[in-house]
Chain A
Amino acid sequence: MPHFDVEKIRADFPMLAALEGGKPLVYLDNAATTHKPWAVINRIRDFDSKEYATVRRGSYRLGERATDMFEQTRKKVQKFINAADPREIIFTSGATQSINLAAYSFGKKFIGAGDEIVVTHMEHHANFVPWQLLCQEKGAVLRIAPITDSGEIIMEEFAKLLGPKTKLVAVTMCSNVLGTVNPVKAICKMAHDAGAKALVDGAQSTPHMAIDVRDIDCDFYAFSGHKMYGPSGTGVLYGKYELLDALPPYVSGGDMINAVSIEKTTFSKPPIRFEAGTPAISQVIGLGAAVDYLAGIGMDNIAAYEHELLEYGTKALSAVPGLNIIGTAPHKGAIISFTMDAAHPHDIVTIIDHEGVCVRGGHHCAQPLMARYGVPATARASLAFYNTKPEIDQLVKALHKVLEVFA
């Protein structure tokens, strides 16, 4: 592996130089949200101060240029996840809205009483609750694929859940709690063999590994901009064009129409059909800068370095007395969830916060998963390519403080 110059990368992120309570900030909550490089911050500032106008309306040149930049971002995202066509990229407010859009529009058209939707026991609520609500509304059945103690989908059990009634499989590519990277390509193939469509939740995978939606062969792929070093309020739903073209709109109103009369409305083609109202223009432009920034470093380089951090962190945390790591699958993203015999996750978080270390404590919007492991909550360190081994050492040192307080 070529040398990964993390100090050079850290210089790109102004927040990483911040102090927390007088101590250097050790930010290990990247699965929740990530910091932004200057490239993103500056791009938004430049756009807002020199180039800003609304998009897809009016015909003055300023607006035409803004529209052009907005659509260029769509092409950047298309290339970034290797979609076949820019029209397959729908801009949303985040992965949550992306999945809600898919659930609403796909559900309205294709889900009826007695149909079945399959999810897994490790889904984030964003890829669980929309399907649960849809099933309740339509009289459909939600089926849950079980997982092993190490945090992997039990594929034989998953296979048994698929049948002629299965209409959709919704699965995360990388668990936000366990870190498990699921075999989504095989899962999509199994779904298709059963005659079902497949949605992949890419919120935790897109920022950390190279994504090829055509290779995965998913029908939908959802992710957030703010977890991939871009602005909050941005997200993407990818959908295969023919499928998108068959779906009714989710939110309606301005921009997404073909013609409106008092009697009826006809709608635009995708993706505009699903982008009602003025979008988050500056933020989408900023997302484009984030995509450029990540592509410049190379997702394979990022994945390799983060894997090194994961191995280092797993080893270091395992050596803390009474610390239990939850999620030990062989194929993992750089997420380490844990509990400690000595202290509740909430107490862990408060104490290490005062040592300058930010981790998340709680149920991580995955209550069915917490129930599966019989814990009310976990603490979670989630790493990014701007984190370092000394920061992990700082975490371990802070965890020893927890042991001291609760001795």
Chain B
Amino acid sequence: MSYQNELYQQVILDHNKNPRNFREIGDTAHSCNGHNPLCGDKINIYLKIAPGDVIEDVSFTGSGCAISKASASLMTTFLKGKTLAEAKVVFEEFHKMVLGDLDPATQQHHLGKLTIFQGVREFSSRIKCASLAWHTLICAIDKTGETTME
């Protein structure tokens, strides 16, 4: 196992360095501040939802490690145009993948390019880094507020 092949791949390093959709959305009722007390990472997610429960825009701000930032960045690029129901399915699949309960090579999924995070399952202390943005997304869909990874 190599951290460069499994964890710090070029796409992840690129999204860390040049995060996409790294901005606030001011006029939305859907936002949430996510916090990982273990490492101090803070990811804030903003969502704009169009009629038909379609994600019209999604963005993030905050500070964190390369994994949490890249995960948030890739998540925002992946979700635009998806419905909330589709987003929740992908959240479940992503969660299972990083915990090692879903193998994208052999099982059906809708994760697309997000499978780049499957190597995280080998780094148990970093799983929460990868999933912080997704937990915060679910919080933002349901309500405005705060969520803490326990």
A positions within 8 Å CB-CB of B? 343-347, 350-351, 354, 361-363, 367, 370, 376-377, 405-406
Q: A350-B126, A377-B39 are in contact. List 20 more A-B contacts (CB 8 A).
A: A344-B64, A344-B65, A345-B65, A346-B65, A350-B125, A351-B3, A354-B2, A354-B3, A362-B40, A363-B39, A363-B40, A367-B40, A376-B40, A376-B41, A376-B42, A377-B40, A405-B3, A405-B13, A406-B13, A406-B66
| Interface size, B (range) | 20 to 34
Q: Which residues of A contact B66 (CB under 8 A)?
A: 343-344, 347, 406
Asked whether any CB of chain A lies closer than 8 Å to the CB of B67, the reply is yes
Contact between chains at B63 and A376 (CB < 8 Å): yes
Contact between chains at A376 and B4 (CB < 8 Å): no
Q: Which residues of A contact B42 (CB under 8 A)?
A: 376
Chain B binding site: helix, strand, loop or mixed by DSSP?
A: mixed
B positions within 8 Å CB-CB of A? 2-4, 7-8, 13, 38-42, 63-67, 123, 125-126, 129
Q: Which residues of B contact A406 (CB under 8 A)?
A: 13, 66
Beyond A343-B66, A405-B13, whether A350 also contacts B40 by CB under 8 A is no
A370 to B42, CA, bound (A): 14
Interface centre among B40, B66, B67 (most CB of A within 10 A): B40
Contact between chains at B65 and A362 (CB < 8 Å): no
Q: Which residues of B contact A347 (CB under 8 A)?
A: 8, 65-67
A346 to B7, CA, bound (A): 13
Q: Which residues of B contact A345 (CB under 8 A)?
A: 39, 65
- Closest A residue to B125 by CB, please name it: A350
Which of the residues B3, B4, B13, B39 comes within 8 Å of A346, measured between beta carbons?
B39
A370 to B4, CA, bound (A): 29
Q: Which residues of B contact A362 (CB under 8 A)?
A: 38-40
Q: Which residues of B contact A343 (CB under 8 A)?
A: 66
A351 to B64, CA, bound (A): 16
A134 to B114, CA, bound (A): 47
Contact between chains at A351 and B39 (CB < 8 Å): no
Expressed in whole angstroms, the minimum distance between the Cβ of A373 and any Cβ of chain B is 12
A405 to B66, CA, bound (A): 11
Expressed in whole angstroms, the minimum distance between the Cβ of B84 and any Cβ of chain A is 30
A363 to B38, CA, bound (A): 8
Q: Which residues of A contact B7 (CB under 8 A)?
A: 350
Contact between chains at A405 and B40 (CB < 8 Å): no
Beyond A350-B3, A350-B7, A405-B8, whether A361 also contacts B67 by CB under 8 A is no
- Closest A residue to B4 by CB, please name it: A405
A377 to B42, CA, bound (A): 11
28 contacts between A and B (CB under 8 A): A343-B66, A344-B64, A344-B65, A345-B39, A345-B65, A346-B39, A346-B64, A346-B65, A346-B67, A346-B126, A346-B129, A347-B8, A347-B66, A350-B7, A350-B123, A350-B126, A362-B38, A362-B39, A362-B40, A363-B40, A376-B40, A376-B42, A376-B63, A377-B39, A405-B3, A405-B8, A406-B13, A406-B66
